[in-house]
Amino acid sequence: LERVTSDIEEAISGASHVFVVTQAIAHEMVADLCAPHVEAGQTYVIFPGSGGSLVFANSFRAAGVLDGVFLAETVTLPYSCRIREPGWVNVHAGPGVREIIGVFPARA
């Protein structure tokens, strides 16, 4: 990783791709936090989507920053995690993991 930060502006400024990995219930909050720092040409990929690209589009449109931004979302996470016991997590992301991705807008 090039940088790790809790500062949203620092995290997304200058990034070509922004991966948003959170529960659907947080999509609106994250979109609103990102909106002031969005740059034309960026691609936002929402994992898992659950319609998150529409939430991001509405937030970015309201902030006047939707033009030139690409949104994509997935059906699920590209990995699975299970807690085996306290302090032990099993993460699986191997061959055979398939991801379905939708893009917004459908036309660039």
Tens of pLDDT, residue by residue over 31-51, are 999 999 999 999 999 988 889
* Paired strand residues for 6: none
Domain encompassing residue 33 = 8-104
Question: Is 84 inside a domain boundary?
Answer: yes
Q: Is residue 34 part of a domain?
A: yes
SS3 37: helix
Q: Are 71 and 46 in contact (CB under 8 A)?
A: yes
CA distance 85 to 58: 40
pLDDT for res 97? 61
Q: Is 86 contained in some domain?
A: yes
Q: What is the CATH number of the domain that holds 39?
A: 3.40.50.720
Does 82 map to a domain? yes
Q: How many domains does the chain have?
A: 1
- Per-residue pLDDT, 1: 65
In a domain, 2, yes or no: no
Residue 3 inside a domain? The answer is no
Other CB atoms within 10 Å distance of the CB of residue 98? 7
Phi/psi class of residue 33: alpha, beta or left (left: φ > 0; alpha: ψ in -120 to 50)?
alpha
pLDDT at 88: 83
pTM metric for this prediction: 0.80
3-class DSSP state of 21: strand
Specify the pLDDT at position 63: 97
Q: What are the residue ranges in the chain where pLDDT is below 50? A: none
